[in-house]
Amino acid sequence: MFTHKGSFSFTAAGFLARLPLSMYGISTVVMIATVRDSYALAGLVAGASLFASVVLVPRISRLIDRHGQSRVAVPATVFSVVFSVLQVVCVRYDAADWTLFATAVLSATAPNVGGMVRARWAETLKNEPDAMHTANALEQVLDEAGFILGPILSVALCTALFPEAGVLGASILTLGGTLLLTVQRSTEPPVHEPDPGQPSSPLRNRGLQIMILTFLLTGAVFGSLELTTVAYTEYLGHASSSGWALALLAFGSAVAGLAFGGLTVTVRQSTQFLIGVAAMAVLMLPLLVADGLTSLAVLMFVAGMATAPTMITGMTLVQQLVPPAQINEGMALAVTGLLGGNALGSAVAGRVVEWSGAHAGYRIPCAAAALALVAVLAGMRMLTSQVAAVTGDADGTGERQVVEQR
C-alpha cells in the first residue's frame, strides 16, 4: 500500500490525529471523577461532548467537502483544542459545573480525521478497487489499534502524572496529528463540484439512510458490550480485567481485518456487508453462555472477529453510495451513527444490568446485532441497485473485471 507517494505519511499522521478519539471520553471521566469526586458529573459531561460531536462533526465535514481539508480542519481543530484546555483549567480551579458542560460542547469541533484519510485513499486509488479494499482494511485495523492503545495511554497519563494529563495528551495528539496531515497538500483531495441535481445533503440518499441505521445498531452493539463487560468483570471480582477483555475484542477485530484485507474479494460489496453483519450477529451469541473470566476472554476475541470485515465493507459501501462532492460528510454521518448507537446501547444495557444482573446485559449486543441484520436484509435490494447504478456494476462482476484488466 505504501508504494503510493505520500501514503505512509498521511496514514501515520491520520493515526496520531484520531488516536485521541478513544482517549477523550475515558480521560474526561477520570479527570472529573478524581478532582470533583463525582462519576455522575463525569458521565454527564462526557455524554454532552459525545452528543455535540454527533451534531457538529457532519457539518464540519460538509465544510471540508466544499472548501478542502486544510482550510477547514486546522481552524476547527485549534478551536477544539483551545476549549479542551479551558475545560482542564475549569476542573483544576474548581469552576462552576456549567463551565464543564460548556467547554465539553464547544470542544466537539475536531474533524472526522478517519474520513479525511479515507478520502485521500479514495482519491489516490480511484481506479484500483482491489487496492481500495486493502486500504479500507488497513484503516479499520488502525482504528482497532487506536481503541486498544488509547484507553491504556489515557489511564497511564492520568495515574502516573496528574488527573488532567489524559485530556492534555489527547489535545496535543489531536493538534499535532491534524497539522501533520493537513500540511501534506500533494495528497489532499481536490474540492469536487456537486453534480447537477444532486441533493444538498447526503441524508436524502436512501442507501446511506440504510447504512446509518445499520451503523446505529452496530454502535449499540459496541456500547452495550463495553458497559456489560465492565459490570460483569466487576461481578466476577476482577474489575481491573475489563480493559483487557475489551482489548481482546479489538484484537480479534484487528486480526480479522488484516486477514480480510489480504483477500481479493469479487462478490458485491452489499453481499459482503450482509455476510459481515450476519457473522457479527452469530458470533455475539456465545457471550450469553460466558461463565467466568477465562471463557469471557476467549468469547470476546471470537466476537471481535466479525467487526473489522463488517466495518471495512460498510465504509466502502458508504464511499460508493455518496458522490465525491459529499464524501467527507457521508463518512462523518456514518461515524456519528456509530457514536449515537454507542450511547444508546450503553444506556439500554445499563438499565438491563440494574434490573436483571450483570450477565443479562449481554442480551443487548445480541439483540442489536440481530436488528442490524434485519435492517440490512430489508434494505439489501436498495443497496445493491444503488451501488450498481453508481458503479455500473449491474451483475456484481465489475470489480473482478477491473482487477483482471489491471
Give 292-332 pLDDT, tens digit per residue: 888 998 999 999 888 888 888 888 888 778 877 777 777 77
Cell numbers 482550510: residue: 71
pLDDT averaged over 10-residue windows placed end to end, the chain, 406 residues: 84 88 77 76 76 83 83 90 92 87 89 84 78 78 77 78 87 92 85 65 79 90 81 78 78 82 74 90 92 89 87 82 77 81 78 82 92 90 76 49 34
pLDDT at residue 299, as a whole number: 92
Each residue of 108-161: pLDDT tens digit?
Answer: 888 888 888 888 888 888 777 777 777 877 887 787 778 777 777 877 788 788
- Residue 385, classified by CB atoms within 10 Å of its CB into exposed (0-12), middle (13-18) or buried (19+), is middle
Angle between the N-to-C axes of helices 269-284 and 363-391, in degrees from 0 to 180, rounded to the nearest 10:
180
pTM: 0.75
